Structure formats: structure tokens, C-alpha cells
Structure 1
Amino acid sequence: MPHQNNIYLDNNATTRIDDRVLDVMLPYLSDSYANASSSHLAGLTIQEAVENARWETANLIGAKEEEIIFTSGATESINLVIKGLANESHKHIITVTTEHKAVLETCRYMEETGFNLTYLPVAADGILDPEILAEAITDNTLLVIIMNVNNETGVIQDLQAISKIVQAKNALLLCDSTQAVGKIPINVKDLGVDFLPLSAHKFHGPKGVGALYLSAKAKIKITPQIHGGGQQRKLRSGTLNVPGIIGLGKSCEIAGREMEANTEKISALRNQLEEGLLKIEGSFVNGSLLNRIYNTTNICFPGVNSERLIMALQNISVSNGSSCSSVISEPSHVLKALGLSDENALSSIRFSLSKFTTVEEIEETISRIHSLIKELKS
């Protein structure tokens, strides 16, 4: 059972569903249960609600409704793009060492099928130098994959500069915007991206639903990975997850309307948390202090094992960003790519806030961490 005073600061992993989102979903789990692909009146009514959610999703990212495909989330969307391009004649893919595992593991699979992969490094602040991309890209490059906001550090890449380089070589650009959509303004046309995946549960929507933006030129190159009834213009067959899609649409509508207010509130809380924790001797922030999203801070506490600290925090939920098993804890590949030692990577904690975070929760977190680090170091 959750602690009575649970403090949740792991919102880059998932977020609490907004009550207003849940409210609009409930009818589609009870009375309004018809299949959106059915031709009867009940089905057509559901289809109209689905298309409204598609419009809300497209509107949030500056896309057209016909450019949106609903999926189970960003991981499926990423797989659909990368594997869906397997039949193209060009066999070179470029990505970055700090990408999410959904990208990196899919790219490793593509290497096994005969594709050539280039993994670009980032600087110590987590930023990719566009000149490094310009040197790596060739006329044989099919796809460049670079995320918008990093899930562990919150670092934001310069996608407009990146997209110009990609477009000059007539390659395609996949931008994992899972941590960006719903939090910061996104316009796919301004960014110059061809593919943009997103997940509802990262901005107070339900789990198990997301979407993929496909530009008009990119759509014709994609081979479907799920075959069946030919739903969603044959790009992603299967009965639509109507309650999830309705929830996604409502999350997009709320995010677009409240983004400015959320940004002001959450950034102030993040800065308060960071200021308090950086008073701990030797602590420092991982990644850029200038080019990052407002809800995230990743802090290293040298000499403190992050797993022990997380367990000691009990009712305060944070993340160390590492890949754990019952036997061994591995340092984060993202932090290693920034140049951190194994020891410092394993001493780092990610704090990610949401619109539900309060001043009182931040104050308690600062106090508890100060006390626990003194205990752990002693």
C-alpha cells in the first residue's frame, strides 16, 4: 500500500492521471463501448469521438489529423518507424549514445539485419554538436534518430539545427519527444521532423496509449508492423483502444491550455529543490543547466550509493536511472556518455516533478535527503 504521505518525484517514468482525463474515459469503459470501426450508429458515434481526440493530439504538436497514428505508446511508435523502414535501399542509421533504450535496442536489432549504425557522442553537458552529425551523415543515410528531451537529464537538443543537416542529405528524422510533449511547446513543422512518437502517461494521461506523427513524405515509406483489419490507413491494424485514445485527447487538450501555468509553477519548485540539494557538499547537476526541461534535475551525490538512498527515502519516489537486476546495478548509459565515472553515475539521482508536486513535498524531500546522506556517509 502507498505511504500515507507519498511524495512522487519520478514523473519522467510516469505521471498520475488527471481526474478530468479519467472522467472523460469512464463512459467509454461502460455504456459507450462500441467498436470505432463498426458502421452502425453507435460505432459511428465512437469514431467521431476518436477523431476529435486525433484532432486534439495533432493540434498539440502542430500536425494535421491525417498525420497521426494511434499506438500503444512511444516504444511501439519507435519500433514501427525503425523496423518499418527496413525495405528502403539506404542502410545507414545515425543515433546518439544518450537515446532511450527503446531506440538503442531497436537499432541494435537493425544492425543484426544488415544495417550500418553510427552512434554519436555528446559533450559533457549532454548536448550533441551538430557538426559531429554533419560529419557522420552521408548520401546513404536513411534515418537520423535524436530525442528532443532526455529522460534522465532533461537536456534539450537543438533540433532545428539538426533537422537542417538531415534535410540537406534527404534523410529522415525521428525525434523521440516522449518527455517533451505536453510539457513544452512542440511544432513538428518548425522542428522539421519526419516522425515524432509520444506517450499519454508521460503527461497525465492513461498508460498503454500513445501516438506517432508521420510527415506526408515519410508515411509512404513505412511498412506496417501489425497486419489485420487495415485500421488507421493500414499502418497499424487492430481494434482501437477507444478509452485510452479519448484519454490521450483530453490530456493533450488540458496540456495545451495549462502549459504556461505549469511551466511557471514546476520550474520554481525544481529550482527550489535543486538549490536546497546543491548545499550538500560535493553535489553537482548532471547535464546542461541552460538547455534542459523545467521539471527535471539529475544530481550526483559523490560517495553515496543511489540505491541505498532510494530505499532509505521510503515514501519519496525518485529514480537512479540505472538498469537493475536482482544481482547487479549497472551505471546509467546516459550518465556514462556524459563522462561520469561508474562511481559517480551510481551516486546520481533523477528528480522529476509534475503539476501535482507541492512546496511542502519539496521542503520535506530536501530535509530528508540532507539527513539521510549524513547518515549514509557516516
Structure 2
Amino acid sequence: MANKFDGITIVTGHTLYDESLNDHTLHHLPDINPERIYMDYNATTPLEPEVLQAVSTALQDAWGNPSSNHIAGATAKAIIYQSRQSVARMVGGKAEDIIFTSGGTEANNLVLHTAVEYFQKNCGAAEQGEGLQNGCRGLPHIITSNIEHDSIQQVASHLQKEGKAEVTFVPVSRVSGCIEVEDVIAAVRPNTCLISVMLANNETGVIMPLQEICQRVKFLNKQRERLRILLHTDAAQALGKIPVDVQELGVDYLTIVGHKFYAPRIGALFVNGPGSRTPLYPMLFGGGQERNFRPGTENTPMIAGLGKSVFRDKIRFNNRFPGSDILPNTINMSILGPTLQGWRVLSTCRRLLASVGAACHSASGNRPSHILLSCGVPTEVAANALRVSVGRGTTKAEVDAVVEDLRETVQLLEEMN
């Protein structure tokens, strides 16, 4: 028995027949062996159970059109808003800086499309002989590396082939596998409008010096009157593995890919003040969703899953300082969120007994620890701090139970909010 869908036939027994293949090849889909160990997480990740539940709940309860002015639409709109906040917190941005997309490929295409249009809109006067000193002659120039994902490399190559842009593919070092900052700066031209370098490479895992590149480029931008260089990073492989903060990096755009960190196959683009501080021009036109930057009725269930998956990235460790060793039994962390103050979390936990700071300072009430503030931890982060310290008799099972206790507590407090 078989079911046929648009030229593809699914046959019982895990056999797939694809009519689009000239040789009518039969593809056999292997059964999933539970004893096998999955080790291809850079390609894609499975959904976390709570993410799957969030998607399922949204499919059942938030099926309304988010643009509709009734309760069904309002329910969907509220989920999208909450997810936007969660994704923004994950990367250190604001909710209004997040534009949901179908995935990382669309987000990357949107950035390169914007860079070309940004050049054209700002340098149109050069056609009449103005703005020579501002680099407005010729085509827009884009700088990227020679190890970017295809959704950057192929778009840039297409623009170059079509005569719409000039592109420099800066080679990475054969010694370090890393792009050299000086090579990027040396490639800058008067007509350079975009630098796009991935944050971490998907095959080697090498982390690129984005923060230093951004600092150097911002210095160059101070000397430009009209055409500033826009800064973009594809953070698909970095999110969920290393701390990512757009303010610390200094980028204008950052690409987010959900299925790389246990979320659904959906993406988002961080834009630092879209349409105001940072240009963003749509590739699609339609009903005005996503503030006209990416129109089309929002995929509420996938957006809900993306927002839920961010839980694992909401932990901020307050006692990790570069070059400093720490006690092996002590963790000072904050779970980021407007209702997740340390005292509130601890008072709601069913099993965990811990503190928000030193016991001798417990009389100070719910004020953030002055120790953390003195160490440069932001006030809103310090307010959510928890100090967890283990002893000789602490077992792994107890640690696992505490993690689950915290997970359930955070979920409860967010639902109450």
C-alpha cells in the first residue's frame, strides 16, 4: 500500500520512491536503532521535549491569525511576543530587534540584499559626480571569508556574477583556521558596505575574532561621512554552545538558526534598531507582518518552539572571568527573565535549598548582591542571581534533581506571568 504526494510515493516498509529521479531509484529509509549514538549535532538537533510540547500546544490553542482582532488572534500574538522577548534575551538584544524568518538562509540573504540596497540608496548622488570622497563610485563592495556557509558564499558569488556587487573572499589562516583581523581590514575599500564573517565555523569549530573586527571597523566608520560599513555574523553554530551577546560583539546583524540548538526549523535575524539605527530592506512584500520587514502570516507554532528552546540559553554564569580559576563546588548564576529574581525562584522551588548570596548578608532583603555589582554584573542580572554550592556528599542524582526542580520552577513562574 502506498500514499502519493506531488510525485513522491511513500511505501510501507520504509521504502521511498521519488519520481523526480531519472533512474527511478528506490531509497530505503533505515529504521532508527535506539542503541546508536547520534553525533551530528552541527547539522541539526532534535527537539527538546518541552519545545515539542510548546509547538503542540500552539498548534492546538494558538491557531488564530496573529493579525486578527479577536481572542484567537490575540492568543497567537501573545505567544509570538513572548518568544520575541526570549530570543532577544538570548543574544542580549531587545524584542524590537528580532525579525522572525523561515531559517538562517533567508536571514543571511536578507542581510546581503539589504547591504546592496543600502549602498544604492545612499550613493545614488554619486551618479551625478557627488560623493567621491565617500566611496560612492562603482558597485557595492562586500567582504566575507572563504569558509562561510553556502547561504553567504553563494549569495555573494551570485551578486558578483550578476554585476551587482564586488566581493572579497578573505582566506582564513592555514595555521589557525581563523580569519585574521588585519586581512579583513586590509580588504576594506571606499565602497565597502558590508563585512559578514561567521562567529564559529560549522566544520572546524574555530571561533572567529568578531569583537576585534567590529571594534576596528567602527573606528573606520568614524572617518566616513556617508557610507558606513555594516557588520554581520552568522551565529548558527555558536548559539547554545558559547555565550553570544550582540552588545559585546558590536554587530549590526546576527543570524539565529533554531534547529542548531534544539528548536524547530525556523530562524530569526537580530538587527540593531531595524530601519532606524540599522538599515533593513524587505525582499518580500505582502500583509505587513514583522513590521513589513518580513511579511507573511507568522508561523506561530514554530515561533513558540523557538522561544521555548531559549531556556537552555537563559543561564548567565556570574563567576566566570577570563583567566580566573574558581572553586570547583560553587556556581553563581542568573536565570534571565523579568519574573525570575533569585528570591522568587528559590521560594518557588520544591526541593532546592540555596541562597542568593552570602548568608551573613541575608538581612539586606531582595537587593542585588553588592559583590556581583562590584564585579561588573549588570543590575538586572544580579537581581536574578542564585548561589549554588555542593559538598562532599552531594551526588549526581541530586544535581540532576535540582536541575529539574529549577526547570519546572522557571516554567511555572513564566506561565504565571
- The TM tier, using the shorter chain, reads 0.5 to 0.7
Q: Give the match for residue 193 of structure 2.
A: 142
User: What runs of 5+ residues in structure 1 fail to find an aligned partner?
Assistant: 261-378
**Equivalent of residue 153 in structure 1, options 198, 204, 221:** 204
Instruction: Evaluate the alpha carbon distance shift between residue 43 and residue 218 of structure 1 in structure 2; reply closer, same or farther with a 3 A threshold.
Output: closer
Give the partner amino acid of 1:216: G
**Equivalent of residue 11 in structure 1, options 34, 41, 45:** 41
Give the partner amino acid of 2:272: S
**Equivalent of residue 283 in structure 2, options 222, 225, 235:** 225
TM superposition shift of 1:113: 3.6
Contact 1:138 1:169 in 2 (8 A): no
Q: Give the match for residue 181 of structure 1.
A: 239
TM superposition shift of 1:234: 0.5
| 1:216 is the counterpart of 2:265 | no
| 1:71 is the counterpart of 2:120 | no
Q: Give the match for residue 169 of structure 1.
A: 220
Q: Deviations over 1:221-262 (max 9, x none)?
A: 2220111001111000001010000000011123323999xx
Give the partner amino acid of 2:246: V
Contact 2:274 2:280 in 1 (8 A): no
TM superposition shift of 1:181: 1.3
Please give the secondary structure, in 2, of the residue aligned with 1:103.
helix
Contact 2:235 2:256 in 1 (8 A): yes
* 1:279-290 → structure 2 map (5 Å cutoff): none
Higher relative contact order (CA 8 A, sep 6+): 1
| 1:106 is the counterpart of 2:164 | no
Q: Deviations over 1:146-166 (max 9, x none)?
A: 000000110001111100122
Rounded to whole Å, the distance in 2 between the matches of 1:257 and 1:129 is: 31
Q: Give the match for residue 170 of structure 2.
A: 120
Contact 2:146 2:171 in 1 (8 A): yes
Contact 1:172 1:218 in 2 (8 A): no
Rounded to whole Å, the distance in 1 between the matches of 2:53 and 2:42 is: 23
User: What runs of 5+ residues in structure 2 fail to find an aligned partner?
Assistant: 1-30, 124-135, 222-228, 319-417
Aligned residues: CA RMSD: 1.7
Give the partner amino acid of 2:184: L
Please give the secondary structure, in 2, of the residue aligned with 1:95.
strand
Please give the secondary structure, in 1, of the residue aligned with 2:76.
helix
Q: Give the match for residue 300 of structure 1.
A: none
Instruction: Evaluate the alpha carbon distance shift between residue 26 and residue 217 of structure 1 in structure 2; reply closer, same or farther with a 3 A threshold.
Output: closer
Contact 1:53 1:246 in 2 (8 A): yes
**Equivalent of residue 94 in structure 1, options 125, 143, 147:** 143
Q: Deviations over 1:154-200 (max 9, x none)?
A: 00011111001222233111100000112211110110001101111
TM superposition shift of 1:205: 0.7
Rounded to whole Å, the distance in 1 between the matches of 2:106 and 2:304 is: 19
Please give the secondary structure, in 2, of the residue aligned with 1:33.
coil
* 1:1-378 → structure 2 map (5 Å cutoff): 1-87=31-117, 88=119, 89=123, 91-111=140-160, 112-124=162-174, 125-170=176-221, 171-207=229-265, 209-216=266-273, 221-257=279-315
Instruction: Evaluate the alpha carbon distance shift between residue 259 and residue 154 of structure 1 in structure 2; reply closer, same or farther with a 3 A threshold.
Output: farther
Q: TM-score, normalised by structure 1?
A: 0.66
Please give the secondary structure, in 2, of the residue aligned with 1:238.
coil
Contact 2:231 2:253 in 1 (8 A): yes
| Deviating more after overlay: 143-152 vs 78-87 | 78-87
Q: TM-score, normalised by structure 2?
A: 0.60
TM superposition shift of 1:42: 1.7
Give the partner amino acid of 1:24: A
Rounded to whole Å, the distance in 1 between the matches of 2:275 and 2:195 is: 13
Percent identity over paired residues:
39
Rounded to whole Å, the distance in 1 between the matches of 2:316 and 2:36 is: 25
